[in-house]
Every structure is written in C-alpha cells, then in structure tokens.
C-alpha cells in the first residue's frame, strides 16, 4: 500500500523528465530567415582573459549590422554573436561549442586562443562547422579535416625578428627557453631552439614547466649556471609573473627577454618597473599603418590604452570580418557552403591581407617593448623606436 506514493512520485518524476526533454526539442534552424548565428566559446575569465578579442568580434558584427546586416543570397540578414565564457577550462569549452552548434544553431564558430584553439578544432571537425580563429600561431595548428581556418602570425617570424634584434643587443648569444609543458609550449620550444641555432645562438637551457608553477628555482639555476643572457619565456601570465619576481630576487639578470603569451596581457603592467624592457610579440601596432587602425584606436583606445590590447581588438575584428565576408560570398548560411567559401578568401583585414593556403594565412609580426605601462614597437624598422635595455630585471 505504501509503495503507491513511491510509484506516484516516480511517475511524476518520469513525466517531468520527459516533459523537460520534449520542451528541449527545439525546432530546426531557420537557415533562410532570421539572424545568422555565429557562436564563440572564449576564455573571458580564469588564467587567460580575452575580452579584447571578444570586443573585436562584437565590433565587426555591430559594424555589419549597422549597415542592415550582411548580404546572404538574395536578402540582407542581421548577424547575431553568441558569446559564452568558458573560464579557460577545456571541458567547459568543448561542451559550450557543442551547445552553440546543436542548441543555438550557430552556423560558424569564432575561436578562443592558444591551446583551446587546438582543442576546438576536433569539435569543429566532428560537428562539421567552420571555425575561424586567430591567437594561435599558424605553425602550431595540427592538420584537421578542413573546418578550421587560422589567420594569424607565424611563430617563426617572431623568432626570426627576435633573434635579429637580440643579435644587435650585445649579448653572449646564450639562450634560456622556458615554456609550459603543453603542446603549444613544446612546439614553441622546438621552433625557437631551431631558429635560434640557425641564427648563431646557443641554447644554454630549454625547460618545460607545468602551468601553475610558482617555484622556478631549478630553471633559474640552469640559467645562471649556463650564463644565459637571452631569455625566451612562453607561459601563462601568472607563471611569468612568478618567474620574473623570482628572477629579480635571485639576481638573475638577462640582457634581453621576451614573454610570449604572457607579456601581451594588460596584467603585465601590474609588475610595475619589474616588467620594463621585456619584449612582446604582437600581431598589430598603431604605428604600422594597417587597415582600420583609425577606427579601432578611436573606439577603444580610451578603454584599452595599451597597444597590445588594441592589437587583440584588431585580431577579433579581422577574424570576424573574414567570416562575415565568407558568409556573404557563400550565398547561404549553411556551414558547408561557408566552409567552401572560406577557402577562397582573399581580402585585406585589420591584421593585414588574408588568403588561406592549407587553412592557414600568415599575418605580419611585430615586436614591442614594455616601458612604463605602454608598449612601443621595436621591430620591424618601419614605425619602430630604438630598443631599450632590460631595466626591469637588471
């Protein structure tokens, strides 16, 4: 007798679950009317913060919508950008990408950065939805099934520029390379070692550390015993901050240093004088004469006074423009058509000209140097200022 309420409760629970599932069965995507949905699962919090890239995406989409939308087939359609914050967490990113495509019916994706972009490619391939990304050096993108499009700088360009600059800086040409121990870190270390040796530099120590390391004493030990005056670091910002502080405390004084992945964040200025003189690889500078510079500077320089943040906005703007251009040329808002159209991209963007060869397009690289909260371009020569000594660590 008393099992009846149990059965009632069970039945009620079961019906509720099924009702939930049924209500979740949303109607199919209206691919011929309504806004074109573009999705992005991007790290807006956590170890990496990419709000500037998101702002760039939004700026491009707002610009397009201000003109009534983009031309798709016979009609003009508005574009809707669905942004999800994946908190720099891989699992969250993967689930969010699936949600954006399956639930929100996104017809294309915009990327996050770094390792997340490498991981996102697999989902883009599985879901058969085009993914346009920047913020991942083209040398680091593994080959996939053709749905991922990377328009960004090449790690080799940055390395070559750095070694050329370092050669003129009067060092003993001994290099310490320290990276995070993920795929991006390993590839970075390998590439920079190779190119360094080709440029006549000697790799005194190459170290890989897990993300979240706070104690770099063994790395600094290797550097001092190898007398490395050139420092190449590619880690997430908190790790760089910890290492810079520890280097100062343990009196390790390189003559020239570059912080890949980490010095190009606004948080670098929180290091204060300690961060002065560190070099950073940039995809954009206000003095380089790239397209759309004036618009980006006028709209965002008050919020982001720092050249590298504006560069991230430019990055987002460029990637979104590439995607919007492809949707227009595709004539329809279907993922397959957009993917085919992306292959034939040939346009000028905020980062430079973009034309894909093998899903990759290399954009220009610049080197900047931190000085009292601002970044000044030091390479290539056009629009550059002279290189300062590494006062922060010296």
Site for other proteins in 296-315 (CB under 8 A): none
| Shortest CB 218 distance to other proteins, Å | 5
Binding region for other proteins (CB under 8 A) out of 9-17, 70-78, 285-293, 383-391: 9-17
| Shortest CB 132 distance to other proteins, Å | 19
Q: Which of 118, 135, 228, 326 binds other proteins (CB under 8 A)?
A: 118
Taking the CB of residue 78, how many other CB atoms lie within 10 A of it?
13
Instruction: Give backbone dihedrals phi and psi of 312, rounded to 5 degrees, phi first.
Output: -70, -35
| Shortest CB 43 distance to other proteins, Å | 10
Query: Per CB under 8 A, which of residues 71..90 are in contact with other proteins?
Result: 84-85, 87-90
Query: Would you put residue 75 in left (φ > 0), alpha (ψ -120 to 50) or beta?
Result: beta
| Shortest CB 202 distance to other proteins, Å | 21
Query: Per CB under 8 A, which of residues 34..53 are in contact with other proteins?
Result: 45-47, 49
Q: Which of 123, 153, 154, 339 binds other proteins (CB under 8 A)?
A: 123
Return the number of the residue (352 or 392) whose C-beta is nearest other proteins. Answer: 392
Cα 74 to Cα 77, 329, 332, distances in angstroms:
10, 12, 9
Binding region for other proteins (CB under 8 A) out of 162-170, 243-251, 321-329, 334-342: 243-251
Contact present, 283 and 153 (Cβ < 8 Å): yes
Answer yes or no whether residue 362 interacts with other proteins by CB under 8 A: no
Binding region for other proteins (CB under 8 A) out of 61-69, 215-223, 369-377, 378-386: 215-223
Q: Which of 58, 63, 69, 182 binds other proteins (CB under 8 A)?
A: 182
Q: Which of 65, 76, 80, 122 binds other proteins (CB under 8 A)?
A: 122
Taking the CB of residue 317, how many other CB atoms lie within 10 A of it?
30
Q: What is the DSSP letter of 267?
A: G
Return the number of the residue (75 or 91) whose C-beta is nearest other proteins. Answer: 91
| Shortest CB 97 distance to other proteins, Å | 10
Return the number of the residue (178 or 313) whose C-beta is nearest other proteins. Answer: 178
**Distance from the first to the final alpha carbon of the chain:** 83
Answer yes or no whether residue 227 interacts with other proteins by CB under 8 A: no
- What are 180's strand-pairing partners? 209
Query: Cα angle at 201 between 174 and 288, to 5 degrees?
Result: 105
Going by C-alpha positions, the residue among 195, 193, 173 that lies closest to residue 185 is 193
| Shortest CB 275 distance to other proteins, Å | 11
Binding region for other proteins (CB under 8 A) out of 62-70, 117-125, 191-199, 289-297: 117-125
Query: Per CB under 8 A, which of residues 314..333 are in contact with other proteins?
Result: none
Answer yes or no whether residue 1 interacts with other proteins by CB under 8 A: yes
Q: Rounded CA gap, 341 and 327, in Å?
A: 7
| Shortest CB 151 distance to other proteins, Å | 22
Answer yes or no whether residue 274 interacts with other proteins by CB under 8 A: yes
Answer yes or no whether residue 160 interacts with other proteins by CB under 8 A: no
* Three-class SS state of 177: strand
Q: Which of 226, 267, 331, 373 binds other proteins (CB under 8 A)?
A: 267
Return the number of the residue (101 or 337) whose C-beta is nearest other proteins. Answer: 101
61-69 contact pairs (CB < 8 A, 24+)? 61/320, 61/324, 64/324, 69/35
Residue-wise DSSP of 334-352: -HHHHHHHHHT-EEEETTE
| Shortest CB 214 distance to other proteins, Å | 4
Instruction: Name the one residue in this structure whose structure tokens are 């003109």.
Output: 67
Answer yes or no whether residue 32 interacts with other proteins by CB under 8 A: no
Helix, strand and coil content of the chain, in percent to the nearest 5, comes to 45, 20, 35
Tokens of 349: 């963007």
Please classify residue 22 by burial: count the beta carbons closer than 10 Å to its beta carbon, then call 0-12 exposed, 13-18 middle and 19+ buried: exposed
Return the number of the residue (5 or 289) whose C-beta is nearest other proteins. Answer: 5
Instruction: Name the one residue in this structure whose structure tokens are 């170890």.
Output: 47
Tokens of 279: 């070099």
Contact present, 233 and 208 (Cβ < 8 Å): no
Contact present, 328 and 70 (Cβ < 8 Å): yes
């Amino acid at each position: 007798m008393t099992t009846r309420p149990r059965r009632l409760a069970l039945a009620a629970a079961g019906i509720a679950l099924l009702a939930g599932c049924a209500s979740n069965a949303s109607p199919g995507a209206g691919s011929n009317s309504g806004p074109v949905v573009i999705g992005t699962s991007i790290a807006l919090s956590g170890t990496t913060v990419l709000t500037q890239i998101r702002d760039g995406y939004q700026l491009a989409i707002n610009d397009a919508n201000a003109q009534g939308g983009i031309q798709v087939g016979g009609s003009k359609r508005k574009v809707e950008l669905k942004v999800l914050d994946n908190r720099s967490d891989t699992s969250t990113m993967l689930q969010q990408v699936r949600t954006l495509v399956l639930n929100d019916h996104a017809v294309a994706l915009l990327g996050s950065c770094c390792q997340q972009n490498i991981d996102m490619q697999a989902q883009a391939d599985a879901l058969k939805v085009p993914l346009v990304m920047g913020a991942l050096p083209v040398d680091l993108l593994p080959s996939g099934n053709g749905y991922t499009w990377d328009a960004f700088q090449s790690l080799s360009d940055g390395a070559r520029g750095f070694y050329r600059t370092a050669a003129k800086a009067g060092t003993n040409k001994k290099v310490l390379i320290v990276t995070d121990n993920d795929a991006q870190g390993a590839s970075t270390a390998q590439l920079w070692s190779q190119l360094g040796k080709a440029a006549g530099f000697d790799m005194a120590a190459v170290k890989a550390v897990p993300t979240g390391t706070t104690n770099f004493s063994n790395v600094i030990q290797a550097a001092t015993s190898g007398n490395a005056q050139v420092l190449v670091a590619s880690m997430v910002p908190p790790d760089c901050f910890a290492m810079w502080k520890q280097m100062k405390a343990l009196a390790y004084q390189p003559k020239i240093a570059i912080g890949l992945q980490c010095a190009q964040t606004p948080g670098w200025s929180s290091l204060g004088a300690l961060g002065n003189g560190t070099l950073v690889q940039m995809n954009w500078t206000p003095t380089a004469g790239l397209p759309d510079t004036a618009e980006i500077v006028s709209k965002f320089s008050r919020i982001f006074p720092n050249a590298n943040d504006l560069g991230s906005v430019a990055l987002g703007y460029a990637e979104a423009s590439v995607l919007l251009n492809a949707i227009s040329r595709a004539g329809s808002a279907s993922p397959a058509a957009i993917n085919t159209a992306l292959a034939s991209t040939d346009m000028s963007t905020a980062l430079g000209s973009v034309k894909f060869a093998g899903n990759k397009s290399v954009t220009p690289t610049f080197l900047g140097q931190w000085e009292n909260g601002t970044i000044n371009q030091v390479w290539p020569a056009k629009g550059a200022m002279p290189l300062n000594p590494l006062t922060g660590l010296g």
